[in-house]
Amino acid sequence: MQSLRSFYNPAHLVTGLSIWSLWFVALYGGQGVGCSVAPPPPEDGPWTWLNLALGLLSLFAAGILLGLAYLFHRATGRPNLSERERFVASVSAAGHLIAAIAVVFIALPILALPPCA
């Protein structure tokens, strides 16, 4: 069994979408808590403290996922890899990239919509 630090551990096949799902829960949970504790005025539009916090969380998550996609992509080019190791690294890179794209796509309404309206 490979160490979790290894790029070729099959557990990494699901880490991208797992990080995405944790971000998704934090995004909508944070919005719900923020709107119930200290809702920003709707006339402020999308430029509120809550949207700023959710946007920063989204940028952080997308950055982490893009960085991991890059690292896994680089790991596919190492010499002397077995087919299994190359497969795990390339599918993991693709999973992290897809998760990063999903973060950006789902976070886009933060730029246009008031959070609690």
DSSP reduced 3-state for 109: helix
**For 31, what's the count of Cα atoms within 13 Å in the CB-facing half-sphere?**
21
82 found inside a domain: yes
Domain span including residue 103? 13-26+44-111
Q: How many domains does the chain have?
A: 1
Q: Is residue 5 included in any domain, yes or no?
A: no
Token pair 């809702």 is found at 39
pLDDT at residue 1 tops 70: no
Tell me, what's the pLDDT at 117? 80
Tokens 């990063």 label which residue? Answer: 100
pTM (predicted TM-score): 0.92
Residue 6, in any domain of the structure: no
- pLDDT tens for 28-78 read 999 999 999 999 998 999 999 999 999 999 999 999 999 999 999 999 999
List the single range of 5-9, 17-21, 43-47, 72-76 with lowest mean pLDDT.
Answer: 5-9
